[in-house]
Amino acid sequence: MRPDDRQYLSSHEWVKIEDDTATIGITDFAVDELCSGNEGDLVYCDLPELGRQVEAGETFGEIESVKAVSDLNSPVAGEIVEVNPDIEDHLEILSDDPWDRGWLIRVKIGKGDSASLLDATAYEELIAEKA
Amino acid sequence: METWRLITTWGAPPEFNMGLDGALLEDPEGPPTLRFYTWTPAALSLGYFQRFEEVPAASDAFVVVRRITGGGAIHHTNELTFSLSASLEHPLFEGPVARSYERVHEVVKGALLELGCEAELRGAGELNSDAPDTGMCFHHSTALDLAWGARKGVGSAQRRRRGRVLHHGSIKLGPSKYDTDIASLEGVDDPGEVARALQGAMRNIAGIKLSPGVPSPEERELAEELGARAIDQDFVRRR
């Protein structure tokens, strides 16, 4: 079971909301789709500048595996206030610990709707359909 | 049998080629499309994340564009370029990236066999075409690349966005100034012949019939905008 202290996008990003701050990352399923268990297949992650405003559902970055570039989408609207400084040089963190050390950005939640979010149970059901 | 749109644009400008592929990716509800194209003039395309300085040929090439797909640089001349754009839910693309490559390459392999070329996935090991430090796609191989004669013969890359995928492929009819010492289709001079074989393999292997079509007015408009960006030298040299 994936962590139930956060919510999920169907495009496999997770968001954990504490007060007015959203911490955002990608799920183990997303990592596995990109690299099929071979963590060395992740080659690049492009994360945004601090201070950038994002809309819910908007692309905030991109991740490249050996054979595909995928968009990273923000579940919430707001201002990017923190970017994980370790990710770009240590992509293996995303395979080792996507839920904690593998966070990508923190967003100070602004006005505007969230994207359509799933709880952990609904996300598990989504994954089960794809398995 | 399932039907996809077929768009063929021979001898189109590099910025049009990149712009149209971008437009075909953009609409999550857009029709699944197979596109065949060639380039006039020949151009070098950089992978989305490549640094201009990492590719020595980029400083020498007549025209350089940046793709939205990843991977290494390709010199687009003497080749058939194709793109597949479809939903990530489509049976060709669903699931892990690696599995989608295996399925697409099964189709490409079938087309190559029609042309007398026995290609296989590289699997473990290296190829004679592998060359460090050129930054060229054909000089870097992975287990999922199609090769024959111990050389890489098909360049490929994907971009995934909002539930849709664009899969790029290049099949070489011969080497070029920058794509040296690679596998190519000997005895085939016409990219159209490769396109016809690929069209047949789509039908026979993937069960997909192709119906000739054209980009919609919205796709054309977006292609113009995205193409201008793909060839903008600030964007090309941004990394």
pLDDT in tens, chain A (131 residues): 899 999 999 999 999 999 999 999 999 999 999 987 776 789 999 999 999 999 999 999 999 998 899 999 999 999 999 999 999 999 999 999 999 999 999 999 998 777 889 999 999 999 998 77
Distance CA B221, CA A50 (A): 32
Q: What is the pLDDT of residue A37?
A: 72
In a 3-state reduction of DSSP, which class is residue B56?
helix
| Pick from A10, A44, A70: CB nearest B160 | A70
How far, in Å, are A2, A11, A72, A118, B228 from residue A28 at the CA level? 9, 12, 14, 16, 37
For residues B82 and B35, the answer to whether their CB atoms sit within 8 Å is yes
In a 3-state reduction of DSSP, which class is residue B57?
helix
Residue A32 near chain B (CB below 8 Å):
yes
Q: What is the pLDDT of residue A6?
A: 97
Q: What is the pLDDT of residue A129?
A: 85
Q: Which two tokens stand for residue A30?
A: 């997303």
Residue from A66, A71, A88 whose CB has the most chain B CBs within 10 Å, to mutate: A66
Q: Which two tokens stand for residue A73?
A: 């989408």
Distance CA B107, CA B238 (A): 35
User: Number of helices and strands (H, E) in chain B?
Assistant: 5, 12
User: DSSP string spanning A12-36?
Assistant: SEEEEEETTEEEEEE-HHHHHHHHT
Q: What is the pLDDT of residue B108?
A: 98
| Pick from A67, A71, A73: CB nearest B101 | A67
Burial letters for A65-88: b for 16+ Cβ neighbours within 10 Å, e otherwise?
A: bbbbbbbbbbbbbbebeebbeebe
Distance CA A29, CA A13 (A): 10
Full-model pTM: 0.95
pLDDT digits (tens, 9 = 90+) for B166-187: 999 999 999 999 999 999 998 9
Contact across the interface for B97 and A68, Cβ inside 8 Å: yes
Residue from B84, B101, B161 whose CB has the most chain A CBs within 10 Å, to mutate: B161
Contact across the interface for B96 and A70, Cβ inside 8 Å: no
Strand-pairing partners, residue A107, are A22, A80
- % of chain B exceeding 70 in pLDDT: 100
Residue ranges in chain B whose pLDDT is less than 70? none
Rounded to the nearest angstrom, the minimum Cα separation between A39 and chain B is 13
Strand-pairing partners, residue B79, are B172
ipTM for the complex? Answer: 0.91
For residues B131 and B181, the answer to whether their CB atoms sit within 8 Å is yes
pLDDT digits (tens, 9 = 90+) for B115-134: 999 999 999 999 999 999 99
Distance CA A43, CA A26 (A): 16
Q: Which residue among the candidates B34, B107, B137, B231 is catalytic per the annotation?
A: B137
Distance CA B105, CA B80 (A): 15
Q: What is the pLDDT of residue B92?
A: 97
Burial of residue B53, with CB atoms counted within 10 A of its CB: 0-12 exposed, 13-18 middle, 19 or more buried: exposed
B137 assigned to active site: yes
Distance CA B88, CA B28 (A): 9
Distance CA A31, CA A26 (A): 7
CA-nearest of B20, B3, B2 to B215 is B20
| Pick from B98, B99, B160: CB nearest A71 | B160
Rounded to the nearest angstrom, the minimum Cα separation between A72 and chain B is 9
Q: What is the pLDDT of residue B142?
A: 94
Distance CA B52, CA B44 (A): 11
Q: Which contacts of B180-185 are long-range, i.e. CB under 8 A and separated by 24 or more positions?
A: B181/B128, B181/B129, B181/B131, B181/B151, B182/B129, B182/B138, B182/B139, B182/B151, B182/B152, B182/B153, B183/B119, B183/B129, B183/B147, B183/B148, B183/B149, B183/B151, B183/B152, B183/B153, B184/B78, B184/B153, B185/B112, B185/B115, B185/B117, B185/B153
